[in-house]
Amino acid sequence: METKDAADMLAALSYEARLMIFRYLVRMGPEGACAGDIAKDCEITASTLSHHLNQMRNAGLIERTRQSRSLIYVANFNSMNALIDFLSDECCNGQPELCR
């Protein structure tokens, strides 16, 4: 992962609402959730949610698919794991196993 990509993801997650939404989508697993369920469960208005989802999509943190008439949002687990690896790669002077 490039430093710029990691910075974009971290910037997107630096908002409390986005971090809450992302953690919610991680909990939902590969099935994800529709925008209405996210808004209800995270107690966020639809217009605010739309903005946050777009920012996270642009950063590569989530993906969107269409199922029938619904848009389903899913955490991008590959990106999440790449970010975790990027952050821990240099941990403990190049020995990340010591950091666990």
Confirm if 30 and 74 have CB atoms less than 8 A apart: yes
DSSP state of 100: -
The separation between the first and the last C-alpha atoms of the chain, rounded to the nearest angstrom, is: 21
State pLDDT tens for residues 35-44: 999 999 999 9
Judged by DSSP in three states, 98 sits in helix
Give the side-chain half-sphere CA count within 13 A for 51. Answer: 6
Taken in order of first residue, the domains within the chain and their CATH numbers are: 3-87 (1.10.10.10)
> What pLDDT does residue 96 have?
66
The per-residue pLDDT for range 68-95, each reduced to its tens digit, is 898 999 999 999 999 998 988 777 777 7
**Does residue 29 have a pLDDT over 90?**
yes
